[in-house]
Amino acid sequence: MARDRQVCRDCHRVVEPDTNACPSCGSTSFTDDWAGYVVISHPEDSDIASEMQVTEPGEYALKVR
């Protein structure tokens, strides 16, 4: 599972631990304290992506603390 990875605090994108900037939004604010995991492959057709305001395919955390 992806629990060893970190999450962008701004857009909730799951990224590798050595990432310096989020590939989705450019933020440099990350956390290891997150819960829930969703993979969005077609954000334009996804109600979850719409609710999360996700426009790019990828892996996202549902809850970020």
pTM for this model (two decimals):
0.88
Asked whether residue 12 carries a pLDDT value surpassing 60, the answer given is yes
In a domain, 45, yes or no: yes
Q: Is 43 helix (H, G, I), strand (E, B) or coil?
A: helix
Q: Which domain holds residue 32?
A: 6-64
Report if residue 25 sits inside a domain. Answer: yes
21-57 confidence digits (pLDDT tens): 999 999 999 999 999 999 999 999 999 999 999 999 9
39 belongs to a structural domain: yes
Rounded to whole angstroms, the Cα distance separating 60 from 8 reads: 9
Task: Report the C-alpha gap between 64 and 10 in whole angstroms.
Answer: 9
Distance CA(41)–CA(9), nearest Å, equals 21
Domain membership of residue 1 (yes or no) is no
Q: What is the CATH number of the domain that holds 16?
A: 2.20.28.90
Please tell me the distance from the alpha carbon of residue 45 to that of residue 65, in angstroms, as a whole number. 27
60 known member of a binding site: no
56 or 4, higher pLDDT: 56
> What is the total count of domains within the chain?
1
Q: Is 22 assigned to a binding site? A: yes
Answer yes or no: is 57 a known binding residue: no
**11 known member of a binding site:** yes
Q: Is residue 12 part of a domain?
A: yes
